[in-house]
Structure formats: C-alpha cells, structure tokens
Copies of this chain bind each other. A is one copy, B any other.
Amino acid sequence: MQQEIVLAMLAKEPSYGYQLRARLRDALGPLGDALNAGQIYVTLTRLEKAGLLAVERSADGGDRSDRKVYVLTPDGQQRVAEWIAEVNWPKPDLAEFHLKLIAASSAGLADPVTIVDIQRRELLRRLRDAQRAAMAEPRHSNAALLLEGVVLRLQADLRWLEACEKNWTHRRSGS
C-alpha cells in the first residue's frame, strides 16, 4: 500500500528520500506530520530490490552529498498504472473496539457503557481538532479536502458509538 504511494509519487518526478518525504508531507497537510521518516527509506530499498525502482546517483552540480535519486523502471510504471486503476478502499476496522466491548462484558472486566463513554470523549476531542485544523487550511486545498474526510468519518463513528451505547444499556437491563 505504501509501496504504491511511493511509486506514484515518483511517477511525477524522480526524487531522493528526503525530497519524497517533503512532497508527501506537503500533499497530506497537517496529517503528514504523522509519517515516520525511516519508513521512506525502508520502502525505497525494498522497491529497488524488487526491480520497480532504479537509482541515479546525483553527480549534478557541486552537490557533494551522495544522494540516491530514485526513478521508476518500466515495471514500476506499469505497477503505478495498475494501482491507479485498482479499487482498494480500506475495510472499516471497527472490529477491535467491538471485540473489546464483548470481551470486557463477557469476562466481567469492565462496564461496556463506560468504555463507550471514554471513547466518545476521545473522538469528540479528535473531531474538534480536525475541525480546527480544517479551518486553518486554505479553501479547496488538498489538506482541507482530506480533513473533511476525517471529520465525516469521526462523525459517523460517533453516531455508531451512540448505537453501541443504546445496545449495551439495553442488554444490561435486558438480561
């Protein structure tokens, strides 16, 4: 997944690691800060080993730092084209929380409704943060669009938490 992202970024223009990282951060806006620097290099070397990338030592100008500039091989270009055409929407990963409620309840470790409440507080906090961050971005920018998606997701998750609370209070009184 991240491999394809790196490939796609290099499809626009060859870059060396740090440059690539900067371009990614730029495209993601404030959410780009979560990226781990090391990840880029791990991915680049693995892609090179797989033959999807090639290295072009930068011997240009007076640049004495031996940066490795990566470019796509034909295989890499094909891979990018395939990725663009693919549908790969992430499956919702609600299972973890759901199983936490079940486990807490059935093993008598904690009150599910309390857990739901804690999570709701956290999501509300994140929602405020995301809305504030979205406000700070220029209208119609990449980052603003991405943040809008985050906000919509959080709102949906909060609505699900409401449903969880209703369900588990109902069970508590029901059984």
Contact string, A96-129, partner B, CB cutoff 8 A, digits 1/0?
Answer: 1111101110110110000100110011001000
Cβ of A110: which chain B residues have Cβ within 8 Å of it? 84-85
Interface residues in A147-165 (C-beta closer than 8 Å to B)? 148-150, 152-157, 159-160, 163-164
Q: How many residues on chain A are close to B (CB under 8 Å)? A: 64
**Which residue of chain B has its CB nearest to the CB of A103?**
B8
The answer on a CB contact under 8 Å between A8 and B99 is: yes
Number of copies: 2
Interface residues in A1-36 (C-beta closer than 8 Å to B)? 1, 4-5, 8-9, 11-12, 24, 27-28, 31, 34
**Which residue of chain B has its CB nearest to the CB of A148?**
B163
A5 to B152, CA, bound (A): 27
Contact residue among B83, B98, B104, B155 (Cβ-Cβ distance under 8 Å from A84): B104
A31 to B175, CA, bound (A): 26
The answer on a CB contact under 8 Å between A155 and B156 is: yes
Cβ of A154: which chain B residues have Cβ within 8 Å of it? 92
* Other A-B pairs beyond A11-B109, A148-B160, 4, CB < 8 Å: A34-B91, A80-B109, A84-B104, A153-B153
A-B contact pairs, 24 of them (CB 8 A): A5-B95, A5-B103, A9-B99, A11-B107, A11-B109, A24-B99, A80-B103, A84-B104, A84-B109, A87-B118, A87-B122, A89-B126, A89-B157, A92-B150, A94-B149, A94-B153, A95-B146, A98-B142, A98-B145, A98-B149, A152-B157, A152-B159, A152-B160, A156-B156
